[in-house]
Chain A
Amino acid sequence: MTKNGAQVVSWQSCVIEEIVQQTPSIKSFFLRLAKPFAHIAGQHVDVRLTAPDGYSAMRSYSIASAPNMSATIELAIERLPDGEVSQFFHGVAAIGDEIELRGPLGGHFLWPDPVMDPVLLIGAGSGLAPLMAMVRQRRARAQTVPTALLLSARTAEDVLFSNELHSIETDDPAFVLALAITREEPVRASDFARRIDVSMVQEVLARLRGRPTQVFVCGSNGFVNIATDGALLAGLDPSIVKTERYGG
């Protein structure tokens, strides 16, 4: 996938197997693939919806699940106020529905293989999805590379995959979880009660064992700009920072 290989990534039909309300605005959709594929954490799929009159709408969604053998992938879809596709998923889509998608796609925002050096992940909202695939892939492969996840959310209940992240943090001393909660007081003293800034990135870097050589940032464009500014002011080199920005 990452090279100009001969592989054609064709459309396929998948079936919604399970729907889980993860936060007030984000639902997970577990999709069973007709033609299973092995993806790399960080990759996305394109999803296509078609109306009876032939009109179709396509959007890209990051895969939140780690690569596995189950032929089921997880997408974490946030309901956007004006989103014709996200509104469909939140308001209409039901278990058993068939959805068209193609993937895995994208060859840049990828969990390193092999992964040797510390990694810093920064995300907000459903921007956690590709980062979660990385955290899950790291865990599934029992990788011990020091990894920090700095995750911004409005309130504690807006934190996607909260229970899973806390349990990984408890189990794994090389995994650092830091929450930036912007609209209420965080529960844990180690979390932050403000938007991401340079001193926050510095503090998270201090908790990470070793200097990261790869930084992945995912969220809205405004968030990504603030987070990458913080990372660069904290002394990280722009060439190691990969971004994925939502929009459109």
Chain B
Amino acid sequence: MVTRGFTGRGSGDQAERIPPGQHLVENFPVLSAGPTPDVELSDWKFTVKVGPDSVKIWNWSQFNTLPKTKLTRDIHCVTSWSKLDTVWEGVLIDDILAEAGLERPTDFISAHCYDRYSTNVPLADLITGKAMVALKYDGQPLSPDHGGPARLLVPHLYFWKSAKWVNALQFTEHDEPGFWERHGYHIYGDPWREQRYTND
């Protein structure tokens, strides 16, 4: 349905990079469901679990000895903004799992966070260089607003999957809905298929 009198900005020459219903932003909006947690690096820990069992725990300095990778990716927030060519640096999930000595104990992962947020992502969407635990954005340590000290980065899914303040990855038997997935949002969240809400 054409809206009377609306022309809009259009997507310009980047149109093919912008999923349906999204618009470009130059700034980096901040959206989160609660207060920004204050996480001291001296207290920071990151755990990989299989079910209830912790397989490997790193502190901040141990985690920083893992191999670092830079990813430049477009990101897409379900609230409809997209941002192109964002530059991240962190540890690929492949490298984290290799260090934990895990291959594929199950097909699903729940990411857990300092603010008790969680989100679910199939393992296949986290490995083969697709995703990382990001420690830097645009060359700088991640600010608390953007999930610092560390956030998950799964750039090909809507950005709520890129959980801020992440502190654990847990292998689960089934695809267990996380925070937003239990509150009306899509279980998978592919921006190119506009999987915004539960039954999209």
Contact = CB atoms under 8 A, between A and B. Distances in A.
A172 interface: no
A158 to B, nearest CB: 23
A247 B6 contact: no
B98 interface: no
Contact of A238 (B80, B115, B197, B199): B115
A107 B199 contact: no
A166 B37 CA distance: 35
B1 A248 contact: no
Contacts of A59: 80
Contacts of A105: 184, 197
B145 to A, nearest CB: 7
A100 interface: yes
Interface in B135-192: 145, 177, 179-184, 187
A2 B184 contact: yes
B116 interface: yes
Contact of B182 (A4, A13, A52, A246): A4
Contacts of B31: 221, 245, 247-248
Interface residues of B, number: 45
A70 to B, nearest CB: 23
A13 B2 CA distance: 11
A31 to B, nearest CB: 13
Nearest to A245: B31
Contacts of A55: 7-8, 10-11
Interface in A1-25: 1-9, 13
Contact of A9 (B4, B29, B197): B197
B10 A248 contact: no
Interface residues of A, number: 51
Contact of B29 (A4, A100, A108, A247): A247
A119 to B, nearest CB: 16
Given A6-B199, A238-B115, A243 B2 contact: no
Contacts of A238: 34-35, 37, 115
A171 interface: no
Contacts of B79: 60, 247-248
Contacts of A241: 34-35
Contact of A50 (B1, B179, B187): B1
B8 to A, nearest CB: 5
A47 B135 CA distance: 35
A228 B184 contact: no
A175 B23 CA distance: 40
A51 B2 contact: yes
Given A9-B199, A51-B3, 5 more contacts: A55-B10, A99-B3, A221-B145, A242-B33, A247-B30
23 contacts: A2-B183, A46-B196, A50-B1, A50-B6, A51-B10, A55-B10, A56-B21, A58-B22, A60-B79, A88-B8, A97-B4, A106-B183, A107-B182, A108-B179, A228-B35, A238-B37, A245-B29, A246-B29, A247-B27, A247-B31, A248-B25, A248-B80, A248-B81
